[in-house]
Structure 1
């Protein structure tokens, strides 16, 4: 069931993109009524798409090509881009947003026949072999023996990612207002001191609360949040300079350096589209890297 974005409350991840269609997910996919172990499917929505918070009685694995999926699960925000997937255990309430035109894949796993277990929502390494096997299992002409062989290999290669893009939300009443405001507007450049004054508390209290609840300083947490948002914008084809401006960075080189600190590489290298630039950015990045 699809509804316009104006009819449904925001998931509290990012500002909703214009033209977003909000959908209500079915509890179980078509075909789950029959006995199955892994049931895979895919779709290309064509427009920015959001699923309302929901849960399944089945385990679910989602992954994408040509864009990103954002999901907020209780106290964490996950960014799923190419090469990664997100495992959602049965019964966990979650919602998600897809960028426009993304190729969206998901696979459902019958809990009683799934010999792997993860401690909550987990980023999964989507290797070419795993993607190929799940694509194979989406076929409707497989006999029982062929399906069982493929499923056995899936469980062998289903492993957590070594570089999950996960951001923990504070869950602390003293600073939750800061987190929600930055989720709504990552470009908000108010300093730690300004936030403390606005909340009627001290810099030290805000600093300790962020460290205790997220493991990061306020500045590190905001930087990580901005990079999560950048992954979505870059996957939609935004250039580096425009993304930097959108996220409140004075210079593209500053944004690229922040992206590299969080992700381990530059935006251009991550997306396989060198250089990381609008004009002049490449030299600026080199200067930052060598300083």
Structure 2
């Protein structure tokens, strides 16, 4: 009996629905478009050519930022728990993964289906996680700071000034920020800028506009940082992403 079932993913732009959870694991593959997945403590971006794994019972809601297409797989709880990662994960598609997902969707009753499923679980576990997550703090003193920077990624206010605004010492703010997000403040802000830049680029914004809107000193500084994190300069990354993996 199949341990997963699939359906085509075809959404128009929408706001995130009320957060929900389900007993199955969920694997989303985006072939075109862009969506974000909002969880209790993170914001995940899923551009074309990427997959997101959500473990069973994970609270989440998806916001579609552009017309988005791909495939959506629900994995039975027992198999998802035993055979897939225990944590959220975004991974880059490959030609093998793309072909495998299409086969699992199109050939649900073929004899090789069970073998395909086993290969899929192994690939999802072994593939390196992609840096497309913005962890969010639960601390009510830090949350407004982070929400402000999500809305204004070009704000270059430094940690000392934020500490003054929040009536904390620099050391206390730094320690609490690291404990809540798993990142230092500067690293977190760079993650925000990179992730929001990806969303803008996929939506069609020019590289120069994105660079300046994200607070980089110049387009070349943005391109350098982007390549360090994503392995390719923006235009090459977009070309790869637009191929759907």
TM-score class normalised by the smaller sequence: 0.7 to 0.9
1:219-264 CA-partner distances (Å, limit 9, x unpaired) = 2211111101111110111111111232233422232233234334
- Which residue in 2 is equivalent to 1:16? none
Higher helix content, 1 or 2: 2
Structure number with higher relative contact order (C-alpha < 8 Å, ≥ 6 residues apart): 2
Q: 1:143 aligns with which of 90, 109, 129?
A: 109
- Which residue in 2 is equivalent to 1:234? 201
Between the two proteins, the alignment pairs up a number of residues equal to: 238
- Which residue in 2 is equivalent to 1:249? 216
The answer on whether the counterparts of 2:134 and 2:192 sit within 8 Å (CA) in structure 1 is: yes
SS at match of 1:78: strand
Structure 1 or 2, whichever has the larger Rg, is: 1
- Which residue in 2 is equivalent to 1:195? 162
- Which residue in 2 is equivalent to 1:108? 74
Q: 1:207 aligns with which of 167, 170, 174?
A: 174
1:123-157 CA-partner distances (Å, limit 9, x unpaired) = 24433222222222223x64363433433332343
1:71 aligns with 2:44: no
Aligned-partner Cα distance in 1 for 2:129–2:172: 30
Aligned-partner Cα distance in 1 for 2:21–2:73: 14
Q: 2:84 aligns with which of 104, 117, 141?
A: 117
1:175 aligns with 2:142: yes
- Which residue in 2 is equivalent to 1:98? 64
Aligned-partner Cα distance in 1 for 2:115–2:179: 46
Q: Which runs of 5+ in 1 are unaligned?
A: 1-34, 274-291
Q: Which runs of 5+ in 2 are unaligned?
A: 241-245
Q: 2:230 aligns with which of 224, 243, 263?
A: 263
Aligned-partner Cα distance in 2 for 1:134–1:58: 17
CA distance 1:98–1:161, shift in 2 (3 Å): farther
CA distance 1:40–1:111, shift in 2 (3 Å): same
CA distance 1:112–1:144, shift in 2 (3 Å): farther
- Which residue in 2 is equivalent to 1:88? 54
Q: 2:119 aligns with which of 153, 163, 167?
A: 153
TM-score, with normalisation over the residues of structure 2?
Answer: 0.84
Aligned-partner Cα distance in 1 for 2:208–2:216: 9
1:35-89 CA-partner distances (Å, limit 9, x unpaired) = 6421112233243553431111211001212333222222222222234311111
TM-score, with normalisation over the residues of structure 1?
Answer: 0.72
